[in-house]
Amino acid sequence: MKSRPVLVATGALAAIALLSACSSTPSSTSPSASAGAGALSVVASTNVYGSIAQAIGGEDVQVTSIIDDPAQDPHEYEATARDQLALSEATVVIENGGGYDPFVDSMLSSAGNTGAVVLNAAEISGLMPTEGADAGDDASHTDDPSHTEDADHTHGADDGDGHDHVEGFNEHVWYSFPAMDALAKQLAQALSDADPADAATFQANYETFSGQLATLTTSVEDIKAKHSGEGVAITEPVPLYLLEAAGLVNKTPEEFSEAIEEGTDVPPLVLQETIQLMTDKAVAMLAYNEQTVGGETQQVADAATVAGIPVVGFTETLPDGDDYVSWMTANVKAVADALR
């Protein structure tokens, strides 16, 4: 799967010196308000990872989420001077990787921050194919998301161009609870290394977060026990890790979801085939990416509604007022309710 290109405003990459002149300009950057004095600076590409960073770091971290607007398409992000400044001062940076947010590496390199620890969620997840391997080859990745050899690294100048997109890889790894557990564990270690005095706090926070993920996993396993093998349709692969963990089978033509994700027209026959899944009631639910809506996805959603098939909305960033756990709890409940 290819992500739509992320737009990086060239002017913003050179704008740190002009930051005071743009102080009234709205920014996507959203720093946490509860950090104490001397808190470590953590910058996350989206508020999904910002929420996880806050859960692990608590009052001992100052978290900045570059993309924090639920109405904003992360693929169309444009850099700002504030984001560049935040990255220049970061102790830890969390990016999704897998081609999803290459602007992070580009901006970090431009900022000259060679000391930040960069946690790449896609690499840490263990879900991404190894270099040179076919994404569809089961041998290309480990089944254990905690296998994270060399997943975190110190950012250097050679990383400035970001990660190459991995063809065939579903980069939306934040919908995998084992992947987020592995990320949180490495984050706790990175924060402990930077602030040994608070290491016990970071570890305790990780254990709490890990326990919450375990509860979510139990809920997903309950869905699997009742509905394993049932078919679902998607507009994009965003929630696939969650749906697959619940034992659900994606019946959507690959050409449909690829075209929607890449922002290209869906071939008419493929669109009709997807709509027919609804008409024939061949799927139990439609997973709908609410942040990428167009005429073709609306046609599929309308067909599902007419056929009485539940349409469950998913997003790529946190809704207002949610943290990662509450958001995923709502997502899991929505799937369970739709399949009843």
Mean pLDDT (10-residue bins), the chain, 340 residues: 38 34 37 66 97 98 90 72 93 96 91 93 92 44 37 38 62 98 98 98 98 98 98 97 98 94 93 98 96 92 98 94 97 97
The two beta strands, 30-31 and 61-67, are antiparallel
Residue type at position 71: A
pTM for the structure as a whole: 0.82
DSSP 302: H
pLDDT given for residue 38 in this prediction: 78
Three-class SS of residue 43?
Answer: strand
pLDDT given for residue 10 in this prediction: 36
How far apart (Å, rounded) are the C-alpha atoms in residues 257 and 332?
A: 22
